[in-house]
Amino acid sequence: MGALQKVNLGTPPAADDGDTNRVANTKANINVDILNTQATLTSLSPNAVRDLTAADMGKRINFTPTAAGTVHFPAANTTGADQLVAIHNLSPTYDITMSTAAGSGDTAPTIAVVKAGEMLTYETDGVSVWRTIGRKKAFDETVQGKMIVAGATTLTGPVTLTGGVAGALTATGSLQGASLSIGTGPTYAASISAAGAYSGASASYTGDVTVGGKLGVTGQATFTVRPVFAGNTPWDSGNLASPVTLATSQALSNKTFSNSTFFTGTPSGTASTSPLVVQTSGGAAQIGFTASSGSLAAILSLGASSTFSLLSYNSGAYAPLIVSTVTQSSDELLKTNVETLSGAMEKLRKLRGVSYTLKADGSAHVGLIAQEVKPVYPELVDTLDMDIDEDGDAVAHQYNEKGEEIFGAGGKPVSRKALGVRYQNMVAPLLQGLLETDAALRSALARIAALEAAK
């Protein structure tokens, strides 16, 4: 529409009563000024986003932002009462945020964001308040508050709902989303975090489904294909003929164990850091060695005394050990209270060397009797881990999975620990006895020589 026109007042005339022509026209022009402030919006098209001034009131301001920005209203008390301004965002991408002037103390409007393609109209009371009174949308619209639709709504394009839906939601197309929840929160009846075709309460998903949290199944779960957990396919009789997790005996060949391997449920102690640990819940920890015939040939055992024992195939005796040399630790710094042996020959006279036949395999040997050595040199006699009965037969012990010993019908057998002799350490008294004999012989020879010289 055209702009309102003012009366040309000309030269003021003289008058005796009432309004003169000039006064009448002056009042008319004042009314025109008021009408101009309330007339239809006039468009302004600034080149860039800027703050508003009092001169922008009554205008439609067209902004085309190149990035998200903020526009400040002028102070309400500088605009006059009942002022309007329309903000039109011509950008298809960027939003404009409306804010009050710094330090004005004005109240901001309820809807302070002009979305891309949207036009919002604001009014002020001319004192301290800005209000939103209308909007126009040209592009995709985002409803910033609640939207209540009382009647039927037809949606022909995609719909994005960031809030909740109070009533039934019926869609003839696909329902898509990165996270879909079913039920009333905070605990939902179901949560779908990946796209998958679904129809009905008991239908099946035909697409991929990713569960970000825990998956609870109260009934039976049936998999038509073998599932993958963390990139790994589970073991079962269908894809691994003899998994080591089965309770039956397993045959392992060409297996490499890169980490420590424990043959126990709860390994403990300093040995647990070793590449291979054998530990039992009861009795000695043992490793068996078998010959090509398949029968067990020997057992390497670590008993309660923390000493290794090499047992024969039936544990009835100790097995022979053949090596090129055996070395014992004997460093001076490892010893204390070192004293030279004395009276070695007197003690050795109490011992005897014997020949004997070993009951376990009938082999012939020579050696000492531990019970005869113990009173003379108790430090050369050890108590072994082998239990023997009164006939000298080895007593085998059996334990259950709890480490408790199991006995036969006759109860716990009567037995004692066998004794052994440190033959290698016998070198010391034998050497000292030889030195004592040598010293006595040298003394006797010296006396004989003196007697011969005196003749």
Distances (CA, A) of 173 to 176, 211, 349: 9, 24, 109
Determine how many CB atoms are found less than 10 A away from the CB of residue 191. Answer: 15
SS (H, E, C) 370-426: HHHHCCCCHHHEEEEEEEECCCCCECCCEECCCCCEECECCECCCCEEEEEECHHHH
For 309, the enclosing helix (H) or strand (E) is strand 308-312
pLDDT of 191 reads 61
Length of the chain in residues, anyone?
455
Where in the chain is CATH 1.10.10? 285-327+341-433
**CATH no. for 42-137:** 2.60.120
pLDDT of residue 204: 59
CA distance 400 to 396: 14
- Please check whether the domain covering 285-327+341-433 is classified as CATH 1.10.287: no
User: How many Cα neighbours within 13 Å face the side chain of 368?
Assistant: 22
> Which residues in the chain are classed under CATH 2.60.120?
42-137
pLDDT band of 180, cuts 50, 70, 90:
low
Structure confidence at residue 241 as a pLDDT band (50, 70, 90): low
How would DSSP label each residue in 112-138? -EE-TTEEEEEEE-SSSBEEEEEEEE-
Digit-coded pLDDT (tens) for 41-66? 667 777 688 999 998 988 889 999 99
Which residue carries 């055992």 as its tokens? 301
Helix (H) or strand (E) holding 429: helix 427-454
Closest CA to 52 of 83, 81, 82: 83
